[in-house]
Amino acid sequence: MNTRRLSHLLALLAIASLLLSACGAPAAPPTQPPATEAPAATQAPGATEAPAATEAPATQAPGTEDYAQAPRNETVIFDIDGGKVPDPTNWNPLTPGFRLDQGYHQALIEPLFILNYETGEIEPWLGTSFTPNDTLDVWTLKLRDGVKWSDGEPFNADDVVFTIGMLQAHPELWHSGDMNEWVKSVSKVDDLTVQFNLNKPDPRFLLDYFSVRIWGDVSIMPKHIWDGQDPLTFKNYDPAKGWPVFTGPYKLSSFNQDGTEFVYVRDDNWWGAKAGFQPLPKPKKLVWTWFGPEEKRAAAMANNELDSLMDITTGALQALKAQNPNVITYFDKPPFAWVPDPCSRTLEFNNSVAPWNDKDMRWAINYAIDRDQIVKVSYEDSTVPSESFFPAYKPLNAYVDLLKTAGLFDKYPITKHDPDKTKQILESKGYTMGSDGYYQKDGEQLAIDITTDEAYIEKQRIAQVVVEQLQAVGINATTRNESDATFAQEFHLGTFPARLGWDTCGSVNEPWASMDTMNTKWLKPVGTEASYDRWRWSGPAADQYSKLVDEIGTLPLGDPKINDLFVQAMTIWMDELPVIPVTQAKKIIPFNTTYWKGWPSATNNYVHPPTWWEGNTLKILLKLEPAQ
Partner 1 sequence: MRGITVGYVVRRLGMFFFTVFLGMTLIFFIPRLAPGDPIAAMVSRMTAQSGSVAHSDEMIQAWRVRFGLDAPMPIQYLRYLISLSTFQLGPSLAHFPSQVGDLVLRALPWTLGLLFLATLISFIAGNVIGALLAWRRTPGLAKALLPVTLTFTSIPPFMLGILLIYLFAFGLKWFPFTGAYDMGSQTQWTWSFVKEVIHHGTLPALAIVLTTMGFWALGMRGMMVTTDGEDYMILAQAKGLHPSRIFWLYGVRNAILPQVTALALSLGAIAGGAVIVEYIFTYPGMGYLLYDGIVNGDYTLIQGVVYFLIVGVALAVLIIDLLYPLIDPRITYQKK
Rule CB under 8 A: which of 53-72 touch partner 1? 68
Binding mask 100-139 vs partner 1 (x if CB under 8 A, - otherwise)?
Answer: xx--------------------------------------
The stretch among 57-65, 395-403, 440-448, 522-530 that binds partner 1 (CB under 8 A) is: 522-530
Q: Whole-number minimum distance, CB 579 to partner 1, in Å?
A: 14
| CA separation for the pair 460, 474 (Å, rounded) | 21
Residue 238 binds to partner 1 (criterion: CB under 8 A): no
Q: How open is the CA angle 94-95-99, to the nearest 5 degrees?
A: 90
> Checking DSSP bridges between strand 250-255 and strand 261-266, what pairing results, if any?
antiparallel
State the number of binding residues for partner 1 (CB under 8 A).
95
Give the count of beta carbons closer than 10 Å to the beta carbon of residue 432: 10
- Rounded to an integer, what distance in angstroms lies between the CA atom of residue 170 and that of residue 234? 13
Determine if 2 is a binding residue for partner 1 (CB under 8 A): no
Among 247, 350, 476, 517, binds partner 1 (CB under 8 A): 517
Q: Does 22 bind partner 1 (CB under 8 A)?
A: yes
Stretch that binds partner 1, among 120-128, 295-303, 352-360, 563-571 (CB under 8 A): 295-303
Residues 169-208 within binding reach of partner 1 (CB under 8 A): 171-172, 174, 176-178, 180-181
Query: Contact letters (x/-) for partner 1, 305-344, by CB under 8 A?
Result: -------------------------------------xx-
Q: Residue 579 interacts with partner 1 (CB under 8 A)?
A: no
Distance between CA atoms of 410 and 416, rounded to whole angstroms? 10
Of these, 2, 3, 603, 628, which contacts partner 1 (CB under 8 A)? 3
Cβ neighbours of residue 256 closer than 8 Å, sequence gap 6 or more: 88
Cα–Cα nearest to 589, from 614, 612, 615, 621: 612
CB under 8 Å to 593, separation ≥6 — which residues? 326, 327, 328, 599, 627
Window of 120-128, 153-161, 258-266, 434-442 that interacts with partner 1 by CB under 8 A: 258-266
Q: Give the integer Cα–Cα distance in Å for 384 and 583.
A: 6
For residue 158, state whether it binds partner 1 (rule: CB under 8 A): no
141 φ/ψ angles, rounded to the nearest 5 degrees: -105, 125
Residue whose C-alpha is closest to residue 223's, from 178, 142, 170, 165: 165
Q: State the minimum distance, in angstroms, from the CB of residue 291 to partner 1.
A: 5
| Shortest spacing between CB 287 and partner 1, in angstroms | 7
Residue 215 interacts with partner 1 (CB under 8 A)?
yes
Residues 381 and 403: beta-carbon distance below 8 Å? no
Among 148, 188, 224, 524, binds partner 1 (CB under 8 A): 524
Q: Are strands 338-349 and 498-501 parallel, antiparallel or unpaired?
A: antiparallel
Using the contact rule CB under 8 A, the part of the chain among 139-147, 286-294, 376-384, 573-581 near partner 1 is 286-294
Stretch that binds partner 1, among 142-150, 285-293, 312-320, 420-428 (CB under 8 A): 285-293
| 73 counts as binding partner 1 under rule CB under 8 A | no
Amino acid at 578: P
Query: Which of the residues 443 through 472 are near partner 1 (CB under 8 A)?
Result: 454-456
- Site pattern 74..103 for partner 1 (x: CB under 8 A): --------x-x-xx-xx-x--xxx--xx--
Q: Could you tell me if 476 and 468 are in contact, meaning their C-beta atoms sit under 8 angstroms apart?
A: no
Write the DSSP string, 153-213.
PBP-HHHHHHHHHHHHH-TTSTTHHHHHHHEEEEEEEETTEEEEEESS--TTHHHHHHS-S
